[in-house]
Protein backbone atom coordinates (compact mmCIF):
# COMPACT_ATOMS: atom_id res chain seq x y z
CA UNK A 1 0.00 0.00 0.00
CA UNK A 2 2.84 2.43 0.87
CA UNK A 3 4.63 1.65 -2.38
CA UNK A 4 1.49 2.29 -4.39
CA UNK A 5 0.88 5.57 -2.59
CA UNK A 6 4.48 6.67 -3.17
CA UNK A 7 4.27 5.76 -6.84
CA UNK A 8 1.02 7.65 -7.20
CA UNK A 9 2.50 10.73 -5.50
CA UNK A 10 5.65 10.57 -7.64
CA UNK A 11 3.58 10.17 -10.81
CA UNK A 12 1.39 13.14 -9.88
CA UNK A 13 4.44 15.27 -9.14
CA UNK A 14 6.06 14.41 -12.48
CA UNK A 15 2.79 15.11 -14.33
CA UNK A 16 2.55 18.53 -12.68
CA UNK A 17 6.14 19.31 -13.67
CA UNK A 18 5.42 18.37 -17.28
CA UNK A 19 2.28 20.48 -17.32
CA UNK A 20 4.01 23.45 -15.75
CA UNK A 21 6.82 23.18 -18.28
CA UNK A 22 4.40 23.31 -21.20
CA UNK A 23 2.48 26.39 -20.10
CA UNK A 24 2.69 29.19 -22.65
CA UNK A 25 2.16 32.37 -20.69
CA UNK A 26 1.65 35.47 -22.78
CA UNK A 27 1.53 39.19 -22.05
CA UNK A 28 3.48 38.88 -18.83
CA UNK A 29 6.12 41.43 -19.82
CA UNK A 30 6.21 44.77 -18.09
CA UNK A 31 6.77 47.91 -20.03
CA UNK A 32 9.57 50.14 -18.90
CA UNK A 33 7.33 53.19 -18.87
CA UNK A 34 5.05 51.63 -16.27
CA UNK A 35 7.98 51.22 -13.86
CA UNK A 36 9.46 54.70 -14.02
CA UNK A 37 10.09 56.20 -10.64
CA UNK A 38 9.89 59.95 -10.25
CA UNK A 39 11.88 61.25 -7.32
CA UNK A 40 10.67 64.24 -5.38
CA UNK A 41 13.00 67.18 -5.00
CA UNK A 42 15.23 67.14 -1.95
CA UNK A 43 14.58 69.60 0.84
CA UNK A 44 17.43 71.09 2.83
CA UNK A 45 16.65 70.84 6.54
CA UNK A 46 18.19 72.73 9.46
CA UNK A 47 19.93 69.71 10.99
CA UNK A 48 21.77 69.14 7.70
CA UNK A 49 23.71 72.38 8.05
CA UNK A 50 23.90 72.60 11.85
CA UNK A 51 27.55 72.98 12.93
CA UNK A 52 26.94 71.43 16.35
CA UNK A 53 25.98 68.15 14.70
CA UNK A 54 28.76 67.97 12.16
CA UNK A 55 31.57 69.47 14.23
CA UNK A 56 32.69 66.23 15.84
CA UNK A 57 35.05 67.98 18.25
CA UNK A 58 32.07 69.45 20.04
CA UNK A 59 30.24 66.12 20.43
CA UNK A 60 33.00 63.67 21.17
CA UNK A 61 36.30 63.88 22.94
CA UNK A 62 38.53 62.61 20.19
CA UNK A 63 41.77 61.02 21.26
CA UNK A 64 44.69 63.07 20.07
CA UNK A 65 48.15 61.64 19.72
CA UNK A 66 51.16 63.20 21.28
CA UNK A 67 53.92 64.61 19.11
CA UNK A 68 56.62 62.04 18.47
CA UNK A 69 59.98 62.75 20.05
CA UNK A 70 63.38 61.12 19.68
CA UNK A 71 64.46 59.21 22.76
CA UNK A 72 68.00 58.28 23.75
CA UNK A 73 67.67 54.58 23.00
CA UNK A 74 66.58 55.37 19.44
CA UNK A 75 69.94 56.92 18.59
CA UNK A 76 72.20 54.94 20.93
CA UNK A 77 75.03 53.08 19.23
CA UNK A 78 74.96 50.46 21.99
CA UNK A 79 71.45 49.43 21.04
CA UNK A 80 71.93 49.27 17.30
CA UNK A 81 75.55 48.16 17.04
CA UNK A 82 75.34 44.95 18.98
CA UNK A 83 78.36 43.02 20.12
CA UNK A 84 77.37 39.92 18.22
CA UNK A 85 79.98 38.87 15.75
CA UNK A 86 78.21 37.95 12.57
CA UNK A 87 80.48 36.59 9.93
CA UNK A 88 79.47 36.72 6.33
CA UNK A 89 79.05 33.41 4.58
CA UNK A 90 81.31 32.84 1.68
CA UNK A 91 80.21 30.50 -1.05
CA UNK A 92 82.55 28.19 -2.82
CA UNK A 93 82.57 28.64 -6.58
CA UNK A 94 80.67 26.14 -8.67
CA UNK A 95 82.65 23.38 -10.27
CA UNK A 96 81.81 21.33 -13.31
CA UNK A 97 81.47 17.65 -12.50
CA UNK A 98 81.81 14.77 -14.91
CA UNK A 99 78.13 13.88 -14.97
CA UNK A 100 77.26 17.43 -16.03
CA UNK A 101 79.09 17.09 -19.31
CA UNK A 102 78.66 13.35 -19.89
CA UNK A 103 76.90 12.74 -23.20
CA UNK A 104 75.47 9.44 -22.00
CA UNK A 105 73.51 11.27 -19.31
CA UNK A 106 72.00 13.92 -21.59
CA UNK A 107 71.59 12.09 -24.90
CA UNK A 108 68.88 9.66 -23.98
CA UNK A 109 67.27 7.84 -26.86
CA UNK A 110 63.51 7.82 -26.92
CA UNK A 111 62.01 4.40 -26.61
CA UNK A 112 58.49 3.54 -27.66
CA UNK A 113 57.47 0.58 -25.56
CA UNK A 114 53.78 0.99 -26.34
CA UNK A 115 52.23 -1.26 -28.90
CA UNK A 116 50.66 0.39 -31.93
CA UNK A 117 46.90 0.84 -31.63
CA UNK A 118 44.91 -1.19 -34.07
CA UNK A 119 41.65 -0.02 -35.57
CA UNK A 120 38.94 -2.52 -34.77
CA UNK A 121 35.54 -2.96 -36.40
CA UNK A 122 33.52 -1.80 -33.40
CA UNK A 123 35.42 1.48 -33.38
CA UNK A 124 34.06 2.47 -36.79
CA UNK A 125 30.68 0.76 -36.60
CA UNK A 126 27.97 3.44 -37.13
CA UNK A 127 25.34 1.34 -35.38
CA UNK A 128 27.23 1.48 -32.10
CA UNK A 129 27.88 5.23 -32.15
CA UNK A 130 24.38 6.41 -33.05
Residue 121 CA to residue 116 CA, distance in Å, equals 16
The arithmetic mean of pLDDT across residues 25-44, rounded, is 73
Instruction: Assess whether pLDDT exceeds 60 at residue 59.
Output: no
Who has greater pLDDT, 126 or 87?
126
pLDDT at 104: 83
Domain ranges of the chain: 50-82
What's the whole-number mean pLDDT along residues 27-36?
64
Compute the average pLDDT of residues 24-50. Answer: 76
Which residues neighbour 79 within 8 Å (Cβ) at sequence distance 6 or greater? 73
The per-residue pLDDT of the chain, averaged, comes to 79
Q: Is the pTM of this model over 0.75?
A: no
16 pLDDT band, cuts 50/70/90, is confident
Give the pLDDT of residue 40.
Answer: 85
pLDDT band at 25 (very low <50, low <70, confident <90, very high): low
Return all residues near 116 (Cβ < 8 A) that are at least 6 apart: none
Mean pLDDT, rounded, for 67-95: 83
- Residue percentage of the chain with pLDDT more than 90: 4
Asked if 128 contacts 122 with a C-beta cutoff of 8 angstroms, the reply is yes
Mean pLDDT, range 79-106, rounded to an integer: 82
Amino acid sequence: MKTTLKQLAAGTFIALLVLAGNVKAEATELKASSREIVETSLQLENWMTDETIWNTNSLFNLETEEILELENWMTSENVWNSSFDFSLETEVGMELENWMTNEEVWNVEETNDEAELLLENWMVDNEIWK
